[in-house]
Amino acid sequence: MPAVADLRSPYVKVGRLVYFGRMLDKIRLHAAGRLPAAYVANLGETKPIFFDARCCVFLGLSYASIRDRTLAGGTDEEILAWAEEQGKCHTDAECVVWNRFMVKLGWRDDRSAMLRVRVEEFGLQGRPIETVFDLIDYDEGRDPVRDRAWESV
């Protein structure tokens, strides 16, 4: 899929969390009618193993509540502060575990087979894709290996 303007890499952190900012981007883009259809099917909590749902579970909030708060306005940091107040309170150590879990999905785990299939489907064979985050970045025109994206986590 070509790059989507205003949709950041899942590696980018907001506060202490990877992926959270990407979910906010998808919420905003969808509300503006700018989120490609291929992304719309993966929004929210309908698919428990998908990243939006995992993020909602980690935060202890419904997707609808995060969506509504996001669309009410504010910075990403303000929305994350709200989520941390309204949902589950996490230690720094728990956030590190979340980040490490998310950035490594697809590497030697139950998502590995799916990752190989998606690499083929997306025509990304030959790229050093080891995780789902890598797949997303390559698919959207970023190079996480060149940029050493994992080092910012």
Sign of CA dihedral 26, 30, 36, 37: positive
The pLDDT score that the predictor gives to residue 5 is 87
Q: Spell out the residues 6+ positions from residue 145 whose beta carbon is closer than 8 angstroms to its own.
A: 128, 134
Contact at 8 Å (CB) between 63 and 54? no
Supply 28's token pair: 């905003």
Give the three-class secondary structure for 129: coil
Helix axes 51-59, 63-71, angle to 10 degrees: 90
Positions in the chain whose pLDDT score sits under 50: none
The pLDDT score that the predictor gives to residue 46 is 86
